[in-house]
Structure 1
């Protein structure tokens, strides 16, 4: 038996509900590996779950992804050995920890050219971009792609990768400075959606052209305008709700806006089994090796300061990825 420092919540609410607790960690069971974590990834779903927007059984840990080193393996573990550098996402809540047992089938070996920090900041976000760009809509040369929150962690990955796939990339962000970040991430056009009449400005910049696909992780503040910015027969993808849930609409509105398609997908079903996870991760790692995906780490916080990380994310006071360091 060993111990781990872990963030736990016993109630939903503000970042102050998070507590750093000492947890007993048993020896890894069958098909499990004990991972000493060196970097933990932050994702906005952590905020939704901590706040109760996406309720959890309480008490609960938080966090979906991390990287580290295997310290021990249980019976019936294949393909993972002590000393391996590994990363994971979707291995059950509890990544906000210094040490934990993880189902070995959920672990992805980290290639030698990628650091633990890169892996922890890229796997969840990169696999999100991977399914959005390759499966929800297979982006091809000539597509116009609109990415909301283009200066964020997933947003920057989407922009760079879509550009590498040959798309014309338009991004929105919440300030002039964040628009500069979006342009640096590959946007041909970047618009501040906090400004009045931003949609008209966007269409002026694109010569009136609308998007083949809109990737919207902002939700309430952008969704209805996303429908206006999609081309006829275009696809609007809601995959997050940073400003709050997207408003409900009547299906007939999709017809009126141009025979649009609307979907609300998730990264987890696309990586629900070991074979899919490994194949999609291989695609992501290939994109990283080719330089199409990069890790832009905005800020790192000690694990004990996870509440400050959440405050910074909710205030949209960062660009790029946030890491917690155990």
Structure 2
């Protein structure tokens, strides 16, 4: 199947990044979300992201304008009727994803492969939301999407070989590297990464070291490019908490209990860079 147009549902951080890289790779993109205001902000954010690439000589001004021209937005799922492939990139909440995937399944053609960008939720369970669940597959990008080269292709119990092959080819067309994994909570990367981040919050809460020293320890002692607490701020503390809660519920193992400090910070609205404050303070008066 030749894919020329792609639908992206969800205009948050991940949806924006996914729409951007597909557009930069020459695909026409239909970006769908609930409100015009959200979509307008998303287009502005993508423009800013592309500008930064132009300023770093990683993209030409002409390529930037071409990419933006290939992105259209809509609040109407019916616009997905014309796309050749669609990826759901909504918030990491299973009820929301099931609802959205149901709408996508009703809107797209019967031959269209549907992907989910979930970072931890069972693809097997999500596939139950659509007719012909063999066409649902996980396509897990990492934040920031334009920069990180990995895509986890996640195969649920129902996922067909054709769906995996389609996503593998798309991943290559985007210049990314794929690994194929089974639908176990957190897959590979987050199964290892998020519990480490959670443990960093436990270490911080216990007063073993301050945030800067915890991060410096992992950067200099384990050669990580970024410390776990700074990384949590990039990912979003709410996302980290949601992933830990999925692990705890699905595995039933107390070792996946979320740090009380992480939960408290999310309750306070300290979600990381996207809110201006997380473990660290990113507000202008504090930088």
TM-score (norm 2): 0.32
TM-score (norm 1): 0.29
Q: Which structure exhibits the higher relative contact order, with contacts defined as CA atoms closer than 8 Å and separated by 6 or more residues?
A: 1
